[in-house]
Structure 1
Amino acid sequence: MAEIDKTDSSQILGLGKTPAQWVEIMAERGIEISERTLRERANETGAFYRLGRTMLITPAQIDTIFEGGQSCRSKSTKGVGFTGRRAGSSTTAGVSQAHTGEALRHLQKQAHGTG
């Protein structure tokens, strides 16, 4: 019986490469970038997969990383860190139904001119 390559069924394992591998590929094409810079850009854009300490980046995510470098950076947000899940927030609470209902009643009163 033929042996099955399980990486064929996973796009992440089949297409994903480590930052070091991407740096080598880019160097072959005349693109000079350090592994550290690539990791930082991946973290900034959220375009990577991580399992433990291993970072894998797919070709589509490399495109996202390059596209992320094209955006205009506002000076007013320079130095401001990420918030939420990417920054490690452990908040998992959903939207409170009590607060949602209260906000809806408030908006309805304002719309009817009674609030």
Structure 2
Amino acid sequence: MNIKVNDKEFELNFGIGFLRELDKVAGVDVQGISMGMALTRTLPALKGWDMLALINALYCATHADNPRPSYDDVANAVGSQTDKQIEKLFTDVLAELKKSPVVRFSVNKLTQN
């Protein structure tokens, strides 16, 4: 999956680097100790159409790109999309997470009804 930011295509990677970045951006911190859990918090937020969760996931998935877009650039790129395009981003990100060997087990368990 790719995302266009400032007229440049960036490849999104939802592997270990994504999880590490997501824990930095959206993880749980208790008294200065990182507890991780960002994926556990992000999945329900994505299913609930939470725009910040989408932006966090997209930004973290650009971890391997060089140069990497800034968080604000990703946020602005998402914010410039139509409602239909944003809905597609949500469904595409969830689909990519379900395909990633690193996170698919957790995603499938956390998204079961």
Normalising by the residue count of structure 2, what TM-score does the alignment of the two structures yield? 0.27
Structure index of larger Rg: 1
Task: With a CA cutoff of 8 Å and minimum separation of 6, indicate the structure with the bigger relative contact order.
Answer: 2
